[in-house]
Each structure stands twice: as C-alpha cells, then as structure tokens.
Structure 1
Amino acid sequence: IGFDAAFNYKTRDLNEALAETCPDGIDVNFENVGGKMLEAVLNRMNHGGRIIFCGSISGYNETTPQPGPNNLMNIVRQEITMRGFIVMSYGHLMGDFYRDMRQWLKDGSVKYRETIIEGIEKAPEAFMGMLRGENFGKMIVQVSDDPTR
C-alpha cells in the first residue's frame, strides 16, 4: 500500500491541492471523509470513475446536519458509480484478512504509525482529538502498562 502524493487538507485549498496532485483526474476514490473533501473529489473525478463510500467523518462531530456537496450532478455528468458499504458485510472474510495482515505487518509490506494517549481518564480527550485530526495514524488509549514496549 502506498501513495503518490499527499497534502495537508487543513492548510490547502482542496480543489487546488487535488488539481496539483491529480492532474489527470481521479479514477477511484475511497471516501471516508465526506463534506468539502467529497465535493472537491467530485470536481476531479474522471468519466466512469468509481467512489467507494465507507463513511463521512467530517460530520461526525457536528451538532446540526451539514449541507451535502453542491455538485452531486457531477455523478450523472461523469457517469460516476458511487457505492456505499459496511465493513461488517464482509465479516466472513475476516479470517483471511487477519492471516494476510499479520504476514504483511511481519514482513514490512504494511507499515503503520499510531498516537498513544495514556490513561482511561483521557479517553474523551483522545476521542475529540481524533475527530479534530490531532493524531497521526490510529488513536489509541492505553489503559494499562504494556510489557511489550
């Protein structure tokens, strides 16, 4: 698993950043953010592109419903396929996933980073920090000493 380019969505205009990093457009997008990010992606999708929709974290912390992207007609104009899915619909494949992922982690094919917050009392702070994007990688609340570190 890799990537060709990256940008800080908090400090860059999304449309400019995607135009720069995806000059030939986007064929496939794994959408987990929604909101303004989805809107910017829809502006760069290629004809016949595909969007796999798994979540919309940009709205998880909102207290009122947020307006959707204003360019949903791009789905029609560009003949984009957008399909939602729930991970647990593929629960029957979890054994294969665990087997494969264990090997990929072991041989270095997959690398990860994590943010560790110590103490169960800091769980709310860690959760809010995750929603604000203050973590790098998986946000973990460590509730006891870890003898492996």
Structure 2
Amino acid sequence: KARGCRAVGIAGGKDKCDYVVNELGFDACIDYKADGMQEKFKAATPDRVDVYFENVGGAVWEAVFPLLNPYARVPVCGLIAHYNEKAGSNTGRDRLPGTMRDILTKSLTIRGFIQIEFADQRRDFYREAAQWIAEGRLKYKEDVVEGLENAPNAFIDLLRGRNFGKLVVKVA
C-alpha cells in the first residue's frame, strides 16, 4: 500500500478486518473465519492478484491461488495453517499436479524465504519504516503479554488467532 498497490488484508473476525481497513488503510479485508471466502476474495480483487504474501496456507491459499495473475509473485514466509499437521498426514486429494500446472502455465514465481536472508537490507528497512511510521503511512498494533511464564499460552493463543496485533511477550 505504501508503494501504491491495492492492498487486501486477511484477518480473523469482523473487528480485526474493520481495524485493517479503517485504521491501517487497506482497501479491503477478508475474514478467513467467515463463510464464502473465495467469493469475497474475488470481489475484493477485481483485477485479480499480482503479489500474495503467503504466511498461512490451508484454506486461504486455496482461495487465493486461483486468483493469481500470470507472472504473479508469491513470497512464502510461513504456513501457520499446517504447523500442527503430522509429517505424512493425508489432507485430502492430491492438489500438487494442478498446482504445478498453474505455476507453469501462469509463469508464477513462488519463493520461500527466511527473514535472515535479507539481513544486509535491515538498516535500509529500519530507516524507511521509521520514516513511514513518523508520517503515519505505516501503523502497527501490539498485543502485549506480561511475563515469560505466560509465553506458552500467548503462543497457543497466537496460533488460534486470539491475538489482536503483533504478539509481544514482555519479560523485563
């Protein structure tokens, strides 16, 4: 959004989606907990999707993938919907052949990454992000939990979508 793109957020619940649109300034927000996610994605992305930041997987990925434009880019940073799956568990029909076909025919770029790969760009990011925060172009919300002893439950709540904002455990 800060670079001029149409931004569609994804959040769990009406309150979070209202925050994403009204406070953070996204153009739309899809409630992944509500019915009709695929139709809502279609309505929110009339020109379809050029970049999708994948951090969830599961039903969200299933809803977004058909909407990817040719040459779309998908940075993959996480797959939280799959973190509790057991290795080798069967999650239904094999979607890999169709997915690979679409990756090929749409010339999609899907790239996994870990934040540390971009450590050399950290200073530039901090400088730019600090400026955007000062200008009100980049906003954030923290969900602060007090005490290291509360970290395990806070993490479980995070995985269940109960946090509202970036989860921070305050230890000192």
Q: Give the TM-score normalised by the residue count of structure 2.
A: 0.73
What is the correspondence of 1:48-127 to structure 2 with a 5 Å cutoff?
48-64=71-87, 65=89, 67=91, 70=95, 71-72=98-99, 73-127=101-155
What is the correspondence of 1:126-145 to structure 2 with a 5 Å cutoff?
126-144=154-172
Quick one: structure 1 residues 87 and 66, their matched pair in 2 at CA, closer, same or farther if it must change by over 3 Å? farther
The residue identity in structure 2 corresponding to 1:44 is L
Q: Shift of the alpha carbon at 1:88?
A: 1.0
Q: State the identity as a percent.
A: 42
The residue identity in structure 1 corresponding to 2:55 is N
Quick one: structure 1 residues 123 and 16, their matched pair in 2 at CA, closer, same or farther if it must change by over 3 Å? same
Larger mean Cα displacement after TM superposition, 70-79 or 106-115:
70-79
Aligned to 2:6: none
Are 2:51 and 2:74, in contact at CA under 8 Å, matched by a contact in 1? yes
For residues 100-126 of structure 1, the C-alpha deviation after alignment (integer angstroms, 9 at most, x for no partner) is 222222332211111112222211110
The equivalent position to 1:10 in structure 2, one of 26, 33, 47, is: 33
Query: Alignment length, in residue pairs?
Result: 144
Are 1:59 and 1:66, in contact at CA under 8 Å, matched by a contact in 2? no
In the aligned structure 1, how far is the partner of 2:36 from the partner of 2:169?
A: 32
Q: Shift of the alpha carbon at 1:66?
A: 6.1
The residue identity in structure 1 corresponding to 2:110 is M
The residue identity in structure 2 corresponding to 1:143 is V
User: Unaligned stretches of 5+ in structure 2?
Assistant: 3-24
Q: Shift of the alpha carbon at 1:14?
A: 2.4
Q: Which runs of 4+ in 1 moved over 6 A?
A: none
Secondary structure at the residue paired with 1:50?
strand
Are 1:120 and 1:141, in contact at CA under 8 Å, matched by a contact in 2? yes
User: Unaligned stretches of 5+ in structure 1?
Assistant: 145-149
In the aligned structure 1, how far is the partner of 2:63 from the partner of 2:122?
A: 33
Q: Shift of the alpha carbon at 1:3?
A: 2.3
In the aligned structure 2, how far is the partner of 1:132 from the partner of 1:139?
A: 12
